[in-house]
Structure formats: structure tokens, C-alpha cells
Amino acid sequence: MTAAGDAVASSGAAARGADSAQGSTRSHGSSHGRGHGPGQGQGRGHGHGRGSVSRELRGMWIATVANLDWPSAPGRPAAEQQAQLIAYLDRAVELRLNAVVLQVRPTADALWPSPYEPWAQCLTGVQGKDPGWDPLGTAVSEAHRRGLELHAWFNPYRVANHTDPSRLIATHPARLHPEWVLPYGGKLYYNPGLPEVRRFVQDAMLDAVRRYDIDAVHWDDYFYPYPVAGQVFGDDAAYARYGAGFPDRAAWRRDNTDRLVRETAELIKSVKPDVRFGISPFGVWRNVASDPLGSDTRAGVETYDDLYADTRKWIKEGWIDYICPQIYWLAQPLDLRVPANYAVLVPWWADVVRGTGVDLYVGEALYKVGDPVQPAGWQDPAELSRHLDICARHPEARGNIYFSAKHVASDRLGAMALIAERYK
């Protein structure tokens, strides 16, 4: 999720987590009574509305951007892609998980037959080419058949992991409306400052809510793009047109993101009140040095200041049903040499959600476990088990989501097997 959430895959960086921007490394449900989730004995879902979650959520992200997790490669036969997807769902059940978060709109394209956007390139290798089946529809039905929730994961603004519009299909909305698009940091983005862009991405995402029995709409950590040294996000014209009345451009940008979140929440509830809305932001809202309400961290990225995403406000205003911060750091004694600490951030987020009715799930950096380039703490298969111990001391922490599916399946060092034992 740099994923959620997901992808700097083109450069080989791990998808979720922007530790790269902080000095570490990183890239990232409601019940209809459909039976029992794995190891639960309760109904499949989490209920609807504030404070109604009836069981802890145990999830994994399945990233499709740049084929990070699935499909294993573009252009594989439909039957093979289906088999790979079902294998991930079966693996989730085997490890006693109860939810999957499937990326269905990776780069302003779709894993369902959308009237707004082309078929996703990750399926066939050719953007806009019909894969011959309905991946989102299949995922929903097969997940529910196994007692799993299906959270549909959308990226609102990323258009492409390159800056050449001619590489997009000719009918792509970004080519039909080039005035909507800005290049930045080697990628193309829709401009969050344009009201027509906001309406379009909401319509594109809401189409999936209307068509499918998904349990939640899930967003990752990409709002305004992560800062790139020496580059400027070129929204001068939009700011000149719409920025009057704001003290500065940062406040205007935050308001744009607030509007996207608040309006989308209202739209989801108007279409299907049972569908939950969750967001998985970068793990640090603000450092305490920037704001006394912030966390005791020294992260190089703060969502409020750098991504123009006031994640704390969204909780306090009750615009979202759950928050899943990507807390992709080790749990260790406080060390001023590290940017952030899991053991510091979980209590901070627990305090933020307390009394709001917004559920806290914690994003876990499973991809770091056993990775030889990571610090020694990540070579310990029990590290994530210690994370669950910390969460258990905070009743506001109602579950964990693991990044990502291929690492859940491969289970380096047996870390997920240890977690599955706890999930008995």
C-alpha cells in the first residue's frame, strides 16, 4: 500500500506501507447471516452501523496492481486465474481468517464489467480486454461460500504506474478527459481538486456496490500522492479556481479529501446501508512534534501533512465504519533512532477510536517477516504474535489484516501458522 497499500511494484518495492518515505520500508464487513466464519461460531458478518461488530476481523489483502498477488501473471487462462483465486480463499480458511480484501480497482480500471472504466490490465495484459469471466462476482460468491467476508478494495485516484497517457486504452476516461490527469513521481493521477473527478471516481466505485453483495468498500493509503523530492504536484489551476476561502493550499487539499470521504460514506449508505466503509491509511496521522495530539513517532511521512488525509477527523466525525492503519513497524522498546513503534501506535489509535463506534483493525506487515533485507526483529517468527498480544490489551483493536496474500500463502518462518494457532 505504498498499498492497502500496494504498489511500487514496478520498482520492486513492497507494496503496502510507505516506510520508504519514512526511513523504513513498505509500499497495505457486514453480516447477512450466511453461516459461520472460520473458527467463529458467530454469523459471517460484523453487523452494520457503529459499534456493531460481533467478532474480531482476521483478514488478508489480495493485491492485483502489477500482479503483486493475483493473478500470478497477466494473460493466464480464466480457469487458471479462478483456481489461483480460490486457492487464496481456501488458504484463508485453513489459517482461520474470516475476511479477504480484494483489490478490484487497481489503476482506474476494473475487475468487473464496469460501464465507467475498462477491464483491468492485470487480468489479460491488455487494458480493456474482456477476461471472459467476472472476477469480482466470482470472488464474492466463493468467499461467502466459505464463510469469508469480501471487502472490495479501491484506489480512488491512481490512474497508471507510468506517465504516458497513450499507453492507456483509447476509451479510458483519463484519455477522454486529459484535463483530469496530472503526472507526478513517475505515475499518473486523477486530480483530487476537481469536483468532476470526485464525482466520477465515486460513480465508478459505487457501481460495484450496486452490482455485488460485497461486505465493505475498502480504500488504501493513496489520496494525494506520497511526496517525491524535487517534484511539485501541479494543481495550480484547480487551486486558483476552487481554493478561495481556504487559508492555504494544504487546507484546500485536505478539504478535497474530506469531501471525497464524507460524500462516499453517504453514497454507500444511500445505496446499501449494510455495506461498511473502511480505510487503511499510512500508520502515522501526525508526529507529536507536529501536533500535541499526534503519536510519539518520528515518521518521515504524516498523512495529515503529506497526503492531505485527516484520518483522525474521519474517525471523530463518524464518516467511516472502520480504520485499518498500516502499522508496519516492529514492537520494541522505545528507540529514538527508529521512526515509529508498533507498541506506541496501537495504543494511540485505540485512544482515537475509543467511544466513536468506529472499529479499529490493525494492518500487519507480514511481507517483512523473514525478508533478509529487514532488521533482525523481522527474522523472528513470533514478532507478529507479539503484535497480537499488544492488540489484546486494547479492546478497541477488533482485528488484524495481513499484507499480503502471497505472503500468507507462503508463510515464511511459519509466522502465520503461529497466528492460526491463536485463532483456534
Each residue's pLDDT tens digit, 258-284: 999 999 999 999 999 999 999 999 999
What's the mean per-residue pLDDT of the chain?
Answer: 89
pLDDT value of residue 11 = 28
Residue 364 and residue 422: Cα distance in Å, rounded?
16
The percent of residues in the chain predicted with pLDDT above 70, rounded, is: 86
Tell me the average pLDDT across 283-296. 98
Residue 403 pLDDT greater than 70, yes or no: yes
The amino acid at residue 42 is: Q
pLDDT value of residue 424 = 85
Residue 152 pLDDT greater than 90, yes or no: yes
* Residue 391, C-beta contacts closer than 8 angstroms, at least 6 positions apart: 346, 362, 397, 400
Tell me the average pLDDT across 390-411. 98
For 129-151, the pLDDT digits (tens) are 999 999 999 999 999 999 999 99
Residue 23 pLDDT greater than 70, yes or no: no
pLDDT value of residue 335 = 66
pLDDT value of residue 176 = 98
Q: Look up residue 232 and give its three cell numbers.
A: 511539485
Tell me the average pLDDT across 33-61. 52
Measured CA angle at 44 (ends 38, 47), to 5 deg: 140
pLDDT category at 374 given cuts 50, 70, 90 is very high
Residue 50 pLDDT greater than 70, yes or no: no
Residue of 293, 278, 266 lying closest to 215 (CA atoms): 278
Burial 324-359 (b: 16+ CB within 10 A, else e): bbbbbbbbeeeeeebbbbbbbbbbbbbebbeebebb
Residue 302 and residue 221: Cα distance in Å, rounded?
11
pLDDT category at 48 given cuts 50, 70, 90 is very low
pLDDT value of residue 334 = 66
pLDDT value of residue 14 = 33
pLDDT value of residue 15 = 37
Tell me the average pLDDT across 184-197. 98
Is residue 215 within 8 A of residue 149, CB to CB? The reply is yes
Tell me the average pLDDT across 301-322. 98
pLDDT value of residue 55 = 81
3-class SS string, 148-212: CEEEEEECCCEEECCCCHHHCCCCCHHHHCHHHEEEECCEEEECCCCHHHHHHHHHHHHHHHHHC
pLDDT value of residue 30 = 33
For 220-247, the pLDDT digits (tens) are 999 999 999 999 999 999 999 999 999 9
* Residue 384, C-beta contacts closer than 8 angstroms, at least 6 positions apart: 364, 366, 369, 402, 415, 416, 418, 419
Tell me the average pLDDT across 83-89. 98
